[in-house]
Each structure stands twice: as C-alpha cells, then as structure tokens.
Amino acid sequence: MHDDWQEAERRAEKAHELFERGKWEQALAELQAAVKINPNNHLWHFDLGLTLDQLGRYDEAVGAFRRALALEPEDIESLNALGIDLTRTGAPQAALQHFERCQQLDPDYEPSYCNRIMAYTDLGDHEKAEEMFYLARQLSDECPFCLFNLGESLYRRGRLKDAIGCWQQVLNIDPDHGDVHYRIGYAYRDLGNRRAARRHFRAQLRRDPGHIDALLEQGRLSLENEQPEAAREKFRHALDLEPASSYGWSLLGEAELAIGNLEAARLAMERSLRLDNDQVWVRLGMAQISMEEDNDAEAARWIGEELALKHDQLDVIEQAASLALEINEPAIAERAARTLLAQEPNDVKGVQLLSVALTVQGQFAEAIACCRKALALEPTNAATHYRLADLLARTRQWADAIVAADAGLAAAPADLALRRLRRRLRLASLPGPLGWLMRALLFR
C-alpha cells in the first residue's frame, strides 16, 4: 500500500509538470491514475477538474469538482470552479448557490462576485449582474474578468459600443486576456464595421492561432465581401483543427454554394447535419441547392424543416421567408414571417415579407395593414409605398391609392416605379368610360 501511495504522489507531481507545459491529455492520464490509486485526495480531484477545463470537457470537470467538494466541502476554490463550470454548461441558477457559499465562507473573496456577473447575465438579470460588478470593484478595481463579464452583459442588451468600451479596458489591463479580441471583433461585426472586426479577429489569431471561432468569423467576413474562395480556405483551415465543428461544415457548404460547387456544398452540409441535426441554416443551404437543380418541391421541404427547428435566429427565419417566396410558396413564407414577428413584432423586413406573402394569397386587407405598419416603422421605404398604393388600387380604393403614391413620391421623388404607378392611377381615376377602360387595362 505504501508503494502504491508513493506511485500516486509521483503521478500527481508528473501531472502538475505536464499541466504547466500545456500537455493536457498526458496530465489528465496521470491524474486519473493517481486518483484511481488514492481517491481521497481532494486536491487531485480539483486538479483533474482544472485539466478537464483546459480540454473543454466542462461536464466532466463538474463531476471532478463535485468529488473534490465531497471530500472537502468548504474548499472555496473548488466551490468557485464548480460554479464557473455550471455556468458554462447551462446551469447558472445552480452556479449561484456555489458562488453565494463562497461569499459566506469569505466575504472578501472577489471571484464570488465577479463570476456571478456571468451567471446573472445568462439568466437575463442584468441589473443583478451590474450589482455584482460594483461589489467586485470594491474589492478589486482592476479585475479584467469583471470587465469582460460586464461587457458580455452589455452586449446581450444590445449596447454594443458600451460592451466594446468594457472589453477595451480589459485589453488595457491584460493585453493577452482570453477571447477579448474575438468578442470585440464580433461586436464590431454586428455594428457593420468589418474593417475593425477583421483587425480584432486577426489580433485574436496572432495570440491564439488555433482559435476556431476567430477563423470562422474571418471566413464569414470574406463571404460577406463576396470572396467565397478566400472564405473557403479559412473554413478548411478551421476544420483541419476542429473537424467535428458542425457550424464550420455549414459555413464551408455556404462558401461552396457561393462558388457554385453544388456537390461539394451538399457534402459539407450533409456532414454538418450528421454532426448536429439541429444546426441552424443548413437546411436553407440545402434548399438553395434544390432550387439550383429546379427541384422546388424539395426546396420547400427543406425550408419547412428549417422552420420546424423553432430557433430564434431571425436572419435565418427571414431568409426562409424570402426563399419560400422565390419558389412561389406563399403559405410557407407567411408562416416564416409570422414566426419572425412573434419574436420581433417591429421587424420591418418581417412585416414587409408578410405583406408580400399575404398579397400573393389574395389576402389584401391584411396585406394593406402590414404595409401601413411597415411605413409607420420606416416611412421613407419607396418599395413599401409602391406596394401599398398598388394594393389599394387592386381593391378599387382609388383615392387612397393616389394618396399613397403621392406619399411615396414625397419620400422618394426620383423613384421611377412610383412615378409610373402614379400616372396609371391618374388614368384609372378618370371619370366615365375612359376611366373604366383604363382600370380594366391597367389593374386587371
């Protein structure tokens, strides 16, 4: 038994050396051997959890930290580490209990407040997240983790510039801090500042060349800049590093589709779905392949399957509606538009798409109401003014149609389509047989 315990100590020490050198898998194997010999050393279970964290195996790390706490229930570092991994694995409410226990054991333990910022952010309680931030600042006014977590809270509230400001402060304190360049780049991308986004993604990759998310986002920027070949190379690089990335395969499929390589796109998207059958957008990619092959029925099936996922990616739902209209499936387009508007009632594009879908189905009264709502949200949209005037004309509301066309021309005086419609409406509004003939000819 004495020799076994010495062997366990030796393996634990070796694991520590391997951990310091970044050899996570080998360190894990040594620690697993050590705790198999002596399962009663809580520090080894704690180290096992930290090693699993480095490997991204957070669910297993939760188990390791729980075992450490079973042996030493008041070990504050294990409590904190368990709370962090519960947050990471989607259990922020449970995480709060462990952070609160840390506070009870040591009210001056700053991480117990700092890490609650992210837990409350995940719960959507941003007021409590800010409260934790200010409590943490009383103990440490230059904690990069607090600023990083507060930045995430601000980002999720749509305060992108404030989030960027927080993350810039993180860089001032610790230029090599975690994913901060990636998060700044992502926020700039959302703001439409592609140049700044690309700069920060590159900075992240200089610090961490294997950062998969930064590689994929760089590729997405190339796609948006209509450089699908460059995007494809970035996606391939990312997939060489992480071949199990369903999202990466979906993006590669999108790039191949943009290039026109339908079979390569199909293979990439099929692989994405094999890895994650709920991967968002991929079915719309498959629908576009079907459309290119003139198989609209198959495309409609794929669009319907995408909507059946019931996710909250509004841009993808919007694209589903647009594709459905392209293949003359207005009922599917209506379903997509209503799904979008259920989540974001004042989404202008969603209201416009619903109007078009209803128009194609002959539901003019509700389509007119949608146009009016869209114009209340975006008064200068010439296309919506045109659609409203045209719908009013179709329903023989001539005076209102002329008013709508005039309002459109006031907002967009140079719009040729509105000018032509206004001329047609003038002819259709003429009295007597001539007006009747013009209405019959122009608005059949």
b/e map 56-85, b = 16+ CB within 10 Å: ebbebbbbbbebbbebbeebbbbbbbbbbb
pLDDT band (50, 70, 90) for residue 380: very high
Looking at residue 427, its pLDDT comes to 77
The amino acid present at 162, given as its one-letter code, is D
Task: Quote the longest CA-to-CA distance of the chain.
Answer: 112
Alpha helix (H) residue ranges in 327-381: 330-343, 348-360, 364-377
* DSSP letter assigned to residue 379: T
pLDDT (0 to 100) of residue 89: 97
Q: For residue 220, name the pLDDT band (cuts at 50, 70, 90).
A: very high
Q: Which residue has the tokens 């010439």?
A: 382
Residue 2 vs residue 148, higher pLDDT: 148
DSSP character at residue 312: -
- Are the C-beta atoms of residues 337 and 343 closer than 8 Å to each other? no
Q: Other C-beta atoms within 10 Å of 365: how many?
A: 10
Confidence of residue 441 (pLDDT cuts 50, 70, 90): low
pLDDT in tens, 55-96: 999 999 999 999 999 999 999 999 999 999 999 999 999 999
Chain centroid, CA 169 distance in Å = 24
Q: Which residue has the tokens 């699908």?
A: 228
State the pLDDT confidence band at 423, using cuts at 50, 70 and 90.
confident
In the prediction, which pLDDT does 426 show? Answer: 82
* Residue 324 scores a pLDDT above 70: yes
Residue 202 exposed, middle or buried by CB count within 10 Å (0-12, 13-18, 19+): middle
pLDDT band at 4 (very low <50, low <70, confident <90, very high): confident
Lookup result for tokens 């190379």: 233
- Residue 147 tokens, joined: 């600023």
Q: How far is CA 326 from the centre of its chain?
A: 25
437 pLDDT exceeds 90? no
Q: Which of 286-290, 385-389, 423-427 has the lowest mean pLDDT?
A: 423-427
Q: Within 10 A of 358 (CB to CB), how many other CB atoms are there?
A: 23
Mean pLDDT, the chain, integer: 94
Does residue 379 carry a pLDDT above 80? yes
Asked whether 314 and 348 are in contact (CB, 8 A), the reply is no
383 vs 359: CA distance, rounded Å: 14
Provide the b/e sequence for 224-258 (b: ≥16 CB within 10 Å). eeebbebbbebbebbbeeeeebbbbbbbbbbbbbb
- Burial letters for 327-340: b for 16+ Cβ neighbours within 10 Å, e otherwise? bebbebbbbbbebb
Helix axes 314-326, 296-308, angle to 10 degrees: 160
Instruction: Please give the Cα distance from 187 to 190 (Å, whole number).
Output: 5
pLDDT in tens, 12-62: 999 899 999 999 999 999 999 999 999 999 999 999 999 999 999 999 999
Query: Domains along the chain?
Result: 209-273 (1.25.40.10)
pLDDT band at 272 (very low <50, low <70, confident <90, very high): very high
pLDDT at 146 over 60: yes
Closest CA to 428 of 439, 420, 437, 419: 439
Mean pLDDT of 408-431: 86
Between 381 and 433, the higher pLDDT residue: 381
425 and 393 in contact (C-beta within 8 Å)?
Answer: yes
Look up the pTM and report it: 0.84
Pick from 225-239, 311-325, 387-401: least confident: 387-401
* Residue 201 DSSP code: H
- Grade residue 435 by pLDDT with cuts at 50, 70 and 90: low
